[in-house]
């Protein structure tokens, strides 16, 4: 694994730049698992329904962009090698979600959010800062973030038309994975954030969701 090698600070910055490009450039993320929606038939939706589902998938895609940035920032500043490896492994798994969401957005005749570079930069900074504070805080931030993602996925699953099994299969698998990531972070020693901190994170998440639904 790359995380077991000894890289110079410059090497690590170059690796982070490569990860950023693979996250932000169209179709650059290569999934290790096929999309769960690939075996599902395409639903008949009117234009308004298709645009709504595309907006929801765009939100989820941006969420995965943020997750990539968060994990990469945390891996850069993690104190313990095993924590760095855990962050890098989680980021690899999130690439599947990133690719699945982008594929579905394109199928619906839309495109990812133009704000993705902005949210990537902000999330990378937050992740790096959390890693600088402590690995326990960094892992706790992962768990709290994944909890927020699961809540958003639950909301979106309720809004997707019943006939759209492609989108539903993707979100259901994402929910399973994200819930597992949260459990893994806590099991690894992550701090359980208090309710006021989680509430503040939810407010920030609403800014992201409201802005990327259409843009």
**Is 178 within any annotated ligand binding site?**
yes
**Is 64 within any annotated ligand binding site?**
yes
Using a CB cutoff of 8 Å and minimum separation of 24, what contacts does 198-203 make?
198/144, 198/147, 198/148, 201/144, 201/145, 201/148, 202/148, 202/151
Q: Both tokens of residue 155?
A: 């909301």
Q: Both tokens of residue 100?
A: 């699945």
**Is 52 within any annotated ligand binding site?**
no
Asked if 189 and 136 count as a contact pair (C-beta separation under 8 A), the reply is yes
Tell me which DSSP letter residue 194 carries: -
- Cα 156 to Cα 25: distance, rounded to the nearest angstrom: 25
Backbone torsion region of residue 101, taken as left when φ is above 0, otherwise alpha when ψ lies between -120 and 50, otherwise beta: alpha
**Is 93 within any annotated ligand binding site?**
no
DSSP-based three-state secondary structure for 40: coil
**Is 102 within any annotated ligand binding site?**
no
**Is 89 within any annotated ligand binding site?**
no
* Residue carrying the six token digits 């819930």: 179
Which residues make up each annotated binding site for Fe cation?
64, 94, 97, 146, 178, 181
Which residues make up each annotated binding site?
64, 94, 97, 146, 178, 181
């Amino acid at each position: 694994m790359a995380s077991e090698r000894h890289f110079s600070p410059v090497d690590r910055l170059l690796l982070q730049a490569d990860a950023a490009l693979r996250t932000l450039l169209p179709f650059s993320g290569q999934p290790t698992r096929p999309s769960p929606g690939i075996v599902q038939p395409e639903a008949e939706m009117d234009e308004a329904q298709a645009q709504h589902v595309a907006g929801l998938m765009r939100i989820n895609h941006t969420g995965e962009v943020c997750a990539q940035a968060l994990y990469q920032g945390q891996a850069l500043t993690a104190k313990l090698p095993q924590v760095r490896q855990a962050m890098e492994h989680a980021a690899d798994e999130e690439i599947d979600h990133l690719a699945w969401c982008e594929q579905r957005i394109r199928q619906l005749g839309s495109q990812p959010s133009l704000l993705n570079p902005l949210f990537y930069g902000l999330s990378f900074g937050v992740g790096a800062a959390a890693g600088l504070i402590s690995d326990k805080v960094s892992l706790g931030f992962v768990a709290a973030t994944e909890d927020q993602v699961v809540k958003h996925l639950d909301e979106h699953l309720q809004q997707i038309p019943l006939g759209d099994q492609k989108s539903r299969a993707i979100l259901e698998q994402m929910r399973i994975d994200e819930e597992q990531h949260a459990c893994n972070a806590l099991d690894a020693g992550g701090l359980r954030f208090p309710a006021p901190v989680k509430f503040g994170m939810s407010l920030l998440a609403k800014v992201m969701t409201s802005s990327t639904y259409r843009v």
